[in-house]
Amino acid sequence: MARISTYKKTVPVVAADKWIGSDSQNQMRTRNFTAQDVADFINKKGGEDQDLRYTYKETTGYETGTLSFTGGGPYSKPLNTITTFNISSYDLRSPVLDLGDWITKALLNSDVLLTQCDDLNNWAIYSWDSAVSSGVKEEYQIDLSFRAGYGSLTAGEDYFISLLSYAGEGDLHFTYVQGVPSTSWNIQHNLGKFPSITVIDSAGTVVTGQYTYNDINNVTLTFSAPFAGTAYLN
């Protein structure tokens, strides 16, 4: 066998090109590794630690490192129609590291960027409204509000979830303006909690009514007479 240095260089490198190496999972036996195999490994295991990586799975049943929908989902789902999904507490890059605190605390109420790993033209920005147990061990149900984006979620593809802007630990608040007089105000505040509420009418008078918390992101205010005004949620 000639010296390796005497072989001609091939430029450019293409996916089907091969290297010789040792297989650590098979008694260090000599094996071929394609450029595509190496690129896939680096893409999946390396990179920025703060990016979570998941494979979209359209079928039901929990699997580590997957993103899915309760009851299963379509093969392809437009990103602008997604308001909730389920993710494993272990992503593809950290199969032994529980990311529960990151998912339920660091991302909560923050804006996140979801991108397809091999096609950045498929992307979306969401508000991470809530993160609670899906009822399945090591899986969380995420509620989202779509901000902007383009493309679809496709079964079998991998996606990065990155923190885009951090909401911080300060007290969250929301101001709702009811411009048309009504006895019922339906407010989607996306605060991820049951906030205290103060209502003021157009004359600046505090008004009391009945408040029904539909969930941690929605509340219905009911009054005895219709009026317009502002609700402050803290």
pLDDT greater than 60 at residue 49: no
pLDDT band at 80 (very low <50, low <70, confident <90, very high): very high
User: Which segments of the chain are extended strands (E)?
Assistant: 18-23, 29-34, 52-56, 66-68, 76-78, 84-88, 111-116, 119-133, 139-150, 152-154, 158-165, 174-188, 197-201, 206-207, 210-215, 218-233
pLDDT per residue as tens digits for the range 139-174: 999 999 998 889 999 999 999 998 887 766 556 778
Please report, as a single letter, which amino acid is at residue 44: K
Return the pLDDT at 81.
Answer: 96
Which CATH architecture fits 52-165? Beta Barrel (2.40)
All residues at 6 or more sequence positions from 184 whose CB lies less than 8 Å from its CB, including other chains: 220, 221, 222, 223
Average pLDDT over every residue of 210-224:
92
Which is more confident, 58 or 41? 58
What rounded mean pLDDT belongs to the chain? Answer: 84
pLDDT greater than 50 at residue 116: yes
Average pLDDT over every residue of 178-186:
93
Average pLDDT over every residue of 12-34:
73
In terms of pTM, does the model score above 0.85?
no
Residue with tokens 């032994």: 96
pLDDT band at 40 (very low <50, low <70, confident <90, very high): low
Which is more confident, 207 or 15? 207
Lowest mean pLDDT among 16-30, 116-130, 137-151, 170-184: 16-30
The answer to whether the peptide bond before residue 12 is cis (omega within 30 degrees of 0) is yes
Return the pLDDT at 47.
Answer: 46
Return the pLDDT at 158.
Answer: 94
pLDDT greater than 90 at residue 84: yes
Residue with tokens 């498929």: 122
Give the three-class secondary structure for 43: helix
Please report, rounded to a whole number, the percentage of residues in the chain having pLDDT higher than 90. 41
Q: What is each CA distance from 228 to 6, 200, 208, 220, in whole angstroms?
A: 83, 9, 13, 15
pLDDT band at 39 (very low <50, low <70, confident <90, very high): low
Return the pLDDT at 43.
Answer: 57
Q: Where are the domains of the chain?
A: 52-165, 174-233
Average pLDDT over every residue of 59-63:
89
